[in-house]
Amino acid sequence: MEKEKVITLIDAFKDFKEEKNIDRPVMMGVLKDVFLTQIAKTYGSADNFDVIVNVDKGTCEIYQNFEIVESEDEIEDPNAQMTLAQVAAETGDDDYEVGDTYTKDFKLSEFGRRGILNIRQNLQGRIMDIEKANVFKKYSERVGEIFAGEVYQNWAKEVLILDEDGNELHIPRGEQIPGEHFKKGDTVRAIIKTVEMRNTTPYIVLSRTSNEFLERLFEQEVPEIVDGLITIKKVVRVPGERAKVAVESYDERIDPIGACIGVKGSRILGIVRELRNENIDVLQWTSNPQLMIQRALSPARVSSVDMGSGPDDKVKVYMHPDEVKKGIGRGGCNIQLAGMLVDREIEVWRELPKDAPGSDEEDVLLSEFSNEIDQWVIDRLVAIGCDTAKSVLALSAEDIAHRADLEDETVQDVLQILRAEFED
């Protein structure tokens, strides 16, 4: 029975070597330490034991060293000392002398069934710790890279992905593009965002909403970026809605926008499909913030830009009333992204013709009426391109109610508040 246990233990060593992909020196160190730990636990000390491990063959040799003393009265530790007579009786060799060291083989079976079980369990625990450390190191070095894996489970708060070695990676709900759904077995691409240890286990977070994910997708689709001919200067996104990618070329012969889009959109279409039809605007980078804003607000035409007197001032962008809706974008998405590109908050102001009624009066932002008009109503009006009092008053009550999806009574209350602002 004990012999069977020993054989099972040796076979386990071979399995660990073949299945766990652990470096040979590391495996030897682990095995040696595991045996020495069990020896110390069994005999109180492992100082007089030598452990030699051959990982490739799956063998382990243990030697116990004894100090030879004259008589039994001198023996203080029977596990580390033997008399000259005992050595002679055990070996049949009379060449030993007092003070010499006698070394004999220590059989694995001497650990007993419980000892062998402890060794196996300890080995499993140590190997698991090494595996976790290796996974943590592997993915920590890959943060910022795109990962492709298969969906194993789709839960309410996250999607669980498995790699080829069965390691778990997570896409939390907040890192998923709004509206997308995954089924078990689907192949998903995402960027490796963070790697941390949670209760001694690596927790790897993937993201499909980060700006870096979009940047990596462009690098995969546009060879000129990898070759260094085109540089992505900045990426901003409202995941699932719209993104803006500012690019620059160091070679005048290369059109960075055309290269990123590809012939008939061949390059950018694959990225758009990957991001669930997210609209992607590619623009020419410039260090001039006014020009950058004008390009970012395209397709709307900007009449003028007032950057303010300080770096923290809101940027005022003046447009013809017909251009405002395009400049703001659906839900204010376009103007929000433009502000993110230049790291400034942008306000759109309507530029009324000089002969228009009331053009000599100053307009007022809807945000100034937050004490009188509910914020959700203001948000609805801004979403249809009406961010100032006069832009609302320029529309009929029926048009406002229909486009902003508001009750007629609510619209009348808003119009009454806004008209009062301009009454003498």
User: What per-residue confidence (pLDDT) applies to 177?
Assistant: 94
User: What per-residue confidence (pLDDT) applies to 421?
Assistant: 81
- Which residue has 């490796």 as its token pair? 192
- Dist. CA 275–CA 259, nearest whole Å: 20
Instruction: Give the CA radius of gyration of the chain.
Output: 37
Residue 102 CB neighbours (<10 A) = 19
Domain 2-138: which CATH number of 3.30.70, 3.30.1480, 3.90.660, 3.30.450: 3.30.1480
User: What per-residue confidence (pLDDT) applies to 391?
Assistant: 80
Strands 201-207 and 187-198 come out as antiparallel
- For 331-368, the pLDDT digits (tens) are 788 889 999 999 988 888 777 554 444 444 567 888 88
- For 263-317, the pLDDT digits (tens) are 989 999 999 999 999 999 999 998 898 899 999 998 888 888 888 777 778 888 8
Integer CA distances (angstroms), 149 to 205, 273, 313, 364, in order: 13, 18, 45, 52
Strands 230-238 and 158-162 come out as unpaired
- Which residue has 């990618």 as its token pair? 245
- Dist. CA 230–CA 225, nearest whole Å: 5
Token pair for 356: 């228009």
- Dist. CA 386–CA 415, nearest whole Å: 13
Measured CA angle at 98 (ends 96, 100), to 5 deg: 60
CATH architecture of 144-209: Beta Barrel (2.40)
CATH architecture of 363-424: Orthogonal Bundle (1.10)
**% helix / strand / coil in the chain, to the nearest 5?**
45, 25, 30
Q: Which of 286, 231, 16, 213 is nearest to 129 (CA)?
A: 16
- Establish whether domains 144-209 and 363-424 are of one fold: no
Beta strands in 130-250 (DSSP E): 146-154, 158-162, 168-172, 187-198, 201-207, 230-238, 242-249
198-226 burial: b if 16+ Cβ within 10 Å, else e: eeeebebbbbbbbbbbbbbbbeebbebbe
Show me where the domains of the chain are located: 2-138, 144-209, 363-424
CB 52 within 8 A of CB 60: yes
Stretches where the chain sits below pLDDT 50 are 1-8, 354-360
User: What per-residue confidence (pLDDT) applies to 236?
Assistant: 95
335-350 burial: b if 16+ Cβ within 10 Å, else e: bbbbbbbbebebbbbb
Claim: this prediction has a pTM higher than 0.75: no
- Dist. CA 387–CA 174, nearest whole Å: 29
